[in-house]
Amino acid sequence: MKKIILSLMLTSLIEATNAMLQPVDEKDSQEGSSIGVVNGDEWWKELGPSPFFREGDSDFEHPEPFKIPTRVDVIARIEANNSEYDSVALELVDDKARTLFLEAIRKNDTLRLLDLSAEINEGIAKALAEFVIKNTSLKILNLSGCTFIGNTLSTIFDALKGSKVRTLSLIGCGLNADAGRIIGESLQGNDTLKSLNLKNNQIGDAGAESLGDGLGKNTTLTELILWNNQIGDAGARSLGAGLGKNATLTSLNLGGNQIGDAGAESLGAGLGKNTMLTELILWNNQIGDAGARSLGAGLGKNATLTLLNLNNNQVSGEGAIALGEGLKENTTLKTLGLSVNQINFEGAMELVQLLQPGITLNLSQNKIEPRDKASSIQMGAVAKGIECDLRGNGEESQEVGFNFGGLGISAMPSPYHGDIAQRSDVFVWGNTDRSLGLPKTDATERTDDVAKDSGQQ
């Protein structure tokens, strides 16, 4: 089935109404004001750089012509339930836009991906709830940046329990502890959702406690992103308890929070009981030596985790050794991030000796100096078959990671690791108000990448 990503911005009442009433003449069609055909160079100049066409590429030099549908044309296709268009990004900026959208989705059951940016009032929430239940084709729902009025978030999550949506993104929606409670309760009864992205909200400890309860009873979720949500030890305690009971989650992102040693202790205990998690991201928290020891103890009992990101924390050499003691019999972990901590030479050297061969270790920007000490760590790592990044440990040692044919270099996951269902700027360039019909070869790959990252293919 032909898949084309459409980006749609609906604006004023007058413009939308007049466009629907006015017939399309031949001149308008040729100039692109309605449905026009332009070559790639003209499109490039008008819309700016594209992720699909790069200067020097054959596609850039000799692009295939394609059509640019108007807003009205896109709405008509959605309303007509056109199966050729299964992925849409929408921004609703006025009452008429909202009315047109609501009328269209009531008649559609073919959309697979919906990316909506709007103020979710009661009318939109009710229509969305009906839509996600009726449309069994819908698998990815991105409501990032939306604001939820009154009980609208609860309305949508109640509906999701009866839907086929597997990927939900709510990045930057201003969600608070009450929203966390709603989502946590919904997780207990949802048996279809697999990926949930709550990055950049204000869930806090109270909200995280509810999410932990939901996680302990959920049987389908595989990815949970809580990056930058003001979660501290109390919230981490509940998430750790939920992790110990959960049997499906494979990736948990708690980066950019305020989790300390007490929270890490609970997460470590959860790891010791968990038999499914493969990625735990604790980037940029407040975890020190005691927390590292607890995580090591948990990993000593864990046989599934392959990636642990502790970059940007407060682990010293003592904590690194304690972590290594827990990992000395662990053959599953393949990537360990400890950059931007406070690890000294002794701690780093002992850690390398404790780890199993084949692991990728990031010790960049710690307290390891001078050059000869960093070099001895690198030599020890190479001898054990460990890739070790030691860049940034003093001016003299910055080049050490490059001296062994690349063996010392390892790029660690960014704090955004695991993100799925990005904002609509994945599909939109600039602030154009036109809907873009993109060639199948490009648009299909981009849509499928989002689905693949979400585990939907």
Q: What is the pLDDT of residue 103?
A: 84
For residue 79, the model assigns a pLDDT of 67
The candidate with the shortest Cα–Cα distance to 250, out of 213, 228, 221, 227, is 221
**DSSP tag of 342:** B
User: Residue 287's closest CA among 268, 301, 272?
Assistant: 268
Spell 68-94 as b/e; 16+ CB within 10 A means b: bbbbbbbbebbbeeeeebbbbbbbbbe
Residue 335 to residue 391: CA distance in whole angstroms: 17
Residue among 293, 141, 280, 271 nearest 224 (CA): 280
The pLDDT-based confidence of 92 (bands split at 50, 70, 90) is confident
Two structure tokens written together for 14: 């007058």
* Per-residue model confidence as pLDDT tens digits over 402-420: 322 222 323 333 333 333 2
CATH classification number, 193-419, choose in 3.80.10.10, 3.40.1190.20, 3.40.50.1370, 3.30.70.360: 3.80.10.10
Beta carbons of 8 and 435 less than 8 angstroms apart: yes
Q: Could you count the other beta carbons within 10 Å of the beta carbon of residue 37?
A: 12
Residues 349-389 have pLDDT tens digits of 999 999 999 999 999 999 998 777 888 999 999 999 999 99
Q: How many beta carbons lie within 10 A of that of residue 54, not counting itself?
A: 10
Cα angle 27-33-34, degrees, rounded to a multiple of 5: 85
CATH number of 1-171+423-457: 3.80.10
Q: Which two tokens stand for residue 187?
A: 């997780």
68 pLDDT higher than 50: no
Q: What are phi and psi for residue 394, nearest 5 degrees?
A: 95, 150
pTM of the model: 0.75
**Contact indicator for 169, 420 with CB cutoff of 8 Å:** yes
**pLDDT in the model for residue 84:** 64
**How confident is the model at residue 407, as a pLDDT?**
28
pLDDT reported for residue 82: 59
Mean pLDDT estimate for the chain: 75
Where do we find the tokens 């205990």? 269
Mean pLDDT of 111-140: 92
Q: How far apart are CA 456 and CA 87, in angstroms?
A: 14
The pLDDT-based confidence of 75 (bands split at 50, 70, 90) is low
Token code pair at residue 137: 């084709």
At a CB cut-off of 8 Å and minimum separation 6, what does 20 contact? 72
pLDDT of residue 236: 98
Tens digit of each residue's pLDDT (9 = 90 or more) over 317-355: 999 999 999 999 999 999 999 999 999 999 999 999 999
Cα dihedral 262/265/267/271 (nearest 10): 180
Domain(s) labelled CATH 3.80.10.10 in the chain stretch across 193-419
Token representation of residue 69: 């549908």
Element of type H or E holding 377: helix 371-384
Residue of higher predicted confidence among 413 and 117: 117
Predicted pLDDT at 93: 73
Q: Which two tokens stand for residue 145?
A: 């940046």
List, in order, residues 6 or more apart from 405 with CB less than 8 Å away: none
DSSP notation for 245-288 = H-SS--EEE-TTS---HHHHHHHHHHHHH-SS--EEE--SS---
Interatomic CA distance for residues 155 and 163, integer angstroms = 13
Distance separating the N- and C-terminal Cα atoms of the chain: 15
What's the rounded Cα separation, in Å, for the pair 328 and 355?
5
Tell me, rounded to whole angstroms, the distance of Cα 81 from its chain centroid: 29
Which tokens sit at 386?
């460990």
Sign for the pseudo-dihedral over CA of 228, 231, 232, 238: negative
More confident residue, 166 or 18: 166
Q: How far apart are CA 216 and CA 208, in angstroms?
A: 12
Mean of pLDDT values over 109-130: 91
Give CA–CA dist 183/318, Å, rounded: 39
Bridge-based pairing state of the strands 307-309 and 335-337: parallel
